[in-house]
Amino acid sequence: MGEPDFPILAPGQLRPVADRPPGDTLDSLALYPVAGEPDWAADFPALWTPGEAGAEARLARFVAGPVSGYAAQRNDPGTDGTSGLSPHLHWGELSPRQVWHAVRQAQPGELSRSWPFLSEILWREFSYHLLWHRPELPECALRERFARFPWGRDAALLRAWQRGRTGYPVVDAGMRQLWRHGWMHNRVRMIAASLLVKHLLQPWQDGAAWFWDTLVDADLASNSASWQWVAGSGSDAAPYFRVFNPVLQGERI
């Protein structure tokens, strides 16, 4: 497999756009919590630094250490073994090519050394490929036989899952982390998603919508493709009969 080209250097300056239409200011979008209401983003600054500088600093930290143990540590939520780059990739503060070549420079030689991590970057790109060719991905099962699955919609069960009150420690810990920090370890995401879809029989679209509302790295392509993978209805999805046991998974991690 050929490797991607090096990213193009940033231009020294950008030419102004003629007849530029008026735009909105960030303040006018009212993105921050309203005064007097609960501050849902209070804990975010301790974990995330938006912008290119924050993205480059996080990438530098990852390639300086955790990338070397990624294959062994990526499934351990108690270890700082993942990159944490997904928000920066989603918002365009880093490009996949930047990440690819930074990792390759940190782990020169055979591609197999860095493949466990780089393959995840390619999976993100595959999700974009799916969304481009199947724009119904966020709402509709890609496999027709799942389109009329008899979900047991239950608002109380969905609410318990959203708030981390299912009674399964690993799921509840992950969902409460998501609510406070806007992030959840990928392994825990799979366990929590499996519980919602395959134990509680709630539609995967409801889980995808909650992740879309709460994740700082919420990405339409990756989020939708991942939920369809868990549900068994997507492209190259986990079999519908594969169920994550939330008790055994919690004991293993």
Active site positions, annotated = 120, 123, 151, 186, 204, 227
CA 118 to chain centre: 15
For the chain, the distance separating the N- and C-terminal CA atoms, rounded to the nearest angstrom, is 34
230 contacts 196 by C-beta, under 8 angstroms: no
What are the structure tokens assigned to 244, written together?
A: 């994550």
Is residue 226 within 8 A of residue 193, CB to CB? The reply is yes
Angle 19-21-27 from CA coordinates, rounded to 5° = 140
Asked if residues 191 and 249 have their Cβ atoms less than 8 Å apart, the reply is yes
